[in-house]
Chains A and B, each alone.
Chain A
Amino acid sequence: MSDNLLEIRELTVEYHTDEAVVHAVNGVNLTVKRGETIGLVGETGAGKTTIARSILRILQTPPAKFCGGEILYNGQNIMALSEREMRKIRGNKIAMIFQDPMTALNPIEKVGFQIAEAIKLHNKITKPEAERRACDMLETVGIPMERYNEYPHQFSGGMKQRVVIAMALACNPELLLADEPTTALDVTIQAQVLEMMQSLREKFGASVVMITHDLGVVADSCDSVAVIYAGEIAEYGSAEHIFDYPAHPYTIGLFNSLPKLDSTERRLKPIKGLMPDPMNLPRGCKFRDRCQNAGDKCAERTPDVVEVSPGHLVKCVLAGRGDA
């Protein structure tokens, strides 16, 4: 077995509407190693969620359209699988945690039942056996199993997210896609959930793709990081690479935009302008309009990926020259 659990090659996804084509994901390459947590960081509309949904193949087609690339899961191209084969993987080998725990649970079913259902769907086991395992899962995520027979509305937001996580982990997946799992939660609850995910990851040994806009969450939980901008990976590397030696102007800009707890400066340094409209992407580097260092070269064509140090990839013309 290879070291790489998931390999995404040149993934391109578009959304076709009546009036325009939205270029959501443009040639993304990504590798997830076994047991690794990788953070996908980017702003609203950068294409993070589309990538995750492509991996699970749960995008609505149409309007979404796969325009190229492949997603290799254990060396097998997911895009080529039949829907039936895909159902065996979805929820079983690859599971997803959604952003909003309020809508991810069925409001008219008991939470324990929902977990047991998820288990039974992928395992040939009896009902009592599934129920027993569902109880175990509840305990694992820190919910007393007496609450098995309660309905989602009886749980608080943080508790619901725990239930969602229990459901995702119920079949012992190899890959967990977590789409902003703590964004809807308060900081103290976020801290609890992140802590719990960390310990569960150690326990179950799953790889995690953590989608977030919060660099703090990434610093907290990720081994490697991919910074996404306008459907492209602007920078990719280990957490050390990204946090200690950020090389893409966008990554640097993101760090500068954050209010720092230990800073005494009275002004923030935002990135000027806005992310380009994905219906109307500029030629060349997509970040060019907002970049302070942009020159003529940046407008000519999409920059090549430069490996500035082993494993640290930057999609910028100026990267690795010392003047970026």
Chain B
Amino acid sequence: MQEQKVRKKKSRIGEIWRQLKKNKIAVISLWVIVFVVLVAIFAPLLAPYSYEQQDRTDPFASPSIKHLLGTDKMGRDVFSRLIWGSRQSLQIGAVSTAISAIAGIILGAIAGYYGGWLDNLLMRLLDIYQSIPMFLLCVTFAAVLGPSLRNAVIAIGISMVPGFARLMRASILSIREMEYVEAARSINASNGRIIRKHIIPNAISPLIVSITMGVGSSALAGAGLSFIGLGVQPPIPEWGGMISDARSIMRAHGELAMYPGICVIITVLAFNLLGDGLRDALDPRLKN
């Protein structure tokens, strides 16, 4: 029998990939994301023009070989600006999610594992914090700190902390009661080791899903901030900012708002669908 040899150890990532592969939409989404990331990284090589190069003689040009998607009101190449714009959107998405996930995980882990008054204090603070609408919070932050890419990232990052903290706490609360945590205690494992070895690895699955989706939604929030002028500042292109620029001339040149809009939709959708796929892939109940 083939079973007689020592079973090869399956890596965690390999296992998730094996499950994820079954979901075609998730795999397509993953490739879309990889594509957008590559475009962002190699923007200087891919974009035919720089993002601020103006062709004053040829504003609102129609798509042509010279300008694949035409030019905007200042005669800048729209296609190039979309490519450069991917950098800003992804940066906002990735960095702000990273900030909020790290802070949220730490806060949630502390509150969940130690419990008691500490848990109460942290959770009540987050309650108050969460009763302020997220977008309003971003607007306030951006307005106070001044509009820039960095401040938009910080504002969005901070506003997403409570969500991650809550998720982590809930996940830890259920795992803390598991018998294997008790078993670890009975063999003299320290608190640090129990959190590191037994709790975090088991609590992380739902977080992976919401981190993935978080990148999408914070990219969307970034576009929103830029749209109202509190995010990335011109002339640096950002998809939300580009839509905002096209606002006044929507009737005559609707396509100028449409292109960045489509980019935002596709990117955010890809992250959400990948998140959905991961949720299924990480659910041990679906494994056999």
A–B touch (CB < 8 A): the answer is yes
For residue B288, CB closer than 8 A to chain A, the reply is yes
* Contacting residues, chain A, for B22 (C-beta < 8 A): 18
A20 to B287, alpha carbons, bound, how many Å? 12
**Of residues 263 to 288 in B, which have CB atoms within 8 Å of A's CB atoms?**
288
A-B contact count (CB 8 A): 4
Residue of A nearest to B288 (CB): A17
Residue of B nearest to A18 (CB): B22
Q: How far in angstroms is the closest Cβ of chain B from A249?
A: 23
Q: How far in angstroms is the closest Cβ of chain A from B66?
A: 50
* Contacting residues, chain B, for A19 (C-beta < 8 A): 288
* Contacting residues, chain B, for A18 (C-beta < 8 A): 22
Residue of B nearest to A20 (CB): B288
A side interface size, CB within 8 A: 4
A157 to B22, alpha carbons, bound, how many Å? 41
Q: Mark A192-207, 1 if CB is under 8 A from B, else 0.
A: 0000000000000000
Q: How far in angstroms is the closest Cβ of chain B from A101?
A: 22
A213 to B25, alpha carbons, bound, how many Å? 43
**Of residues 78 to 125 in B, which have CB atoms within 8 Å of A's CB atoms?**
none
A17 to B288, alpha carbons, bound, how many Å? 9
Q: Mark B6-33, 1 if CB is under 8 A from A, else 0.
A: 0000000000000000100000000000
Residue of B nearest to A277 (CB): B3
Q: How far in angstroms is the closest Cβ of chain B from A92?
A: 33
A19 to B288, alpha carbons, bound, how many Å? 9
* Contacting residues, chain A, for B288 (C-beta < 8 A): 17, 19-20
A18 to B288, alpha carbons, bound, how many Å? 9
A20 to B288, alpha carbons, bound, how many Å? 9
A105 to B157, alpha carbons, bound, how many Å? 44
Q: How far in angstroms is the closest Cβ of chain A from B230?
A: 45
A17 to B285, alpha carbons, bound, how many Å? 13
Q: How far in angstroms is the closest Cβ of chain B from A22?
A: 9
**Of residues 9 to 33 in A, which have CB atoms within 8 Å of B's CB atoms?**
17-20
* Contacting residues, chain B, for A17 (C-beta < 8 A): 288
Q: Mark A15-55, 1 if CB is under 8 A from B, else 0.
A: 00111100000000000000000000000000000000000
* Contacting residues, chain B, for A20 (C-beta < 8 A): 288
Residue of B nearest to A279 (CB): B288
Residue of B nearest to A15 (CB): B288
Q: How far in angstroms is the closest Cβ of chain B from A144?
A: 35
Q: Mark A243-286, 1 if CB is under 8 A from B, else 0.
A: 00000000000000000000000000000000000000000000
Q: How far in angstroms is the closest Cβ of chain B from A260?
A: 30
Q: How far in angstroms is the closest Cβ of chain B from A21?
A: 12
Q: How far in angstroms is the closest Cβ of chain A from B82?
A: 39
A181 to B126, alpha carbons, bound, how many Å? 45
Residue of A nearest to B19 (CB): A18
**Of residues 20 to 48 in B, which have CB atoms within 8 Å of A's CB atoms?**
22
4 contacts between A and B (CB under 8 A): A17-B288, A18-B22, A19-B288, A20-B288
Residues of A near any B CB (own CB < 8 A): 17-20
Closest 4 CB pairs of A and B: A17-B288, A18-B22, A19-B288, A20-B288
